[in-house]
Amino acid sequence: MDRPIVYNSDLHFEHGQWASELAFWEDELKSFNHRLEELVQRWTKREVLKELEHFQNEFDLHAGVIEQLYEAIEAHETRIAAQEKTGRASVDTQLFQSHLKVRGKMEDQRQIYAELKKRFFLFLTKYM
């Protein structure tokens, strides 16, 4: 059975898409944190402040994951660049498996982040 050839350029393209998505999430988190700051000024109820703190912690965790994903992409780009220096345009199996792991992490984080945003918007609807 012939395996399809995966080219370095295809992985570079996907990495670029991921980096753009991560940058968008970073911008959104800045906006969400700004909204939290506004709400802290408006609310003094302990249960509301507790929820605000929860979202702040969630946003901090997500920011950490974004940083880890950036680092994984950069490390993978470095490995691809090293492979390209050998003159190979296609990806070896080990490198592709590594790429699939990062892809899986991105897909997982998309779901986690979408759920976080959904919960945050419901919270905003309730307290804005």
Which pLDDT band holds residue 7 (cuts at 50, 70, 90)? confident
**Cα 126 off chain centre by:** 27
Query: In the Cβ-directed half-sphere of 26, how many Cα atoms lie within 13 Å?
Result: 13
pLDDT band at residue 105 under the 50/70/90 scheme: very high
Q: Which of 21, 30, 33, 12 is nearest to 79 (CA)?
A: 12
- Amino acid identity, position 91: V
- Show me where the domains of the chain are located: 8-127
Average pLDDT, the chain: 90
pLDDT single digits (tens) 28-78? 999 999 999 999 999 989 999 999 999 999 999 999 999 999 999 999 889
Please state, in angstroms and as integers, the Cα–Cα distance from residue 52 to each residue in 59, 66, 67, following that order.
11, 21, 23
Task: Take residue 67 and report the two structure tokens written for it.
Answer: 């940083």
Report residue 83's pLDDT band, with 50, 70 and 90 as the boundaries.
confident
Q: What is the pLDDT of residue 19?
A: 97
Q: What angle do CA 13, 103, 63 make, to 5 degrees?
A: 95
Question: What is the percent of the chain with per-residue pLDDT over 70, rounded to a whole number?
Answer: 94
Dihedral angle of Cα 93, 99, 103, 105, to the nearest 10 degrees = 110
| 92-102: pLDDT as tens digits | 778 888 889 99
Helix (H, G, I), strand (E, B) or coil at 128: coil
Q: Are 43 and 52 in contact (CB under 8 A)?
A: yes
Q: Where does the pLDDT of residue 2 fall: very low under 50, low under 70, confident under 90, or very high at 90 and above?
A: low
On the question of pLDDT at 5 being above 80, the answer is no
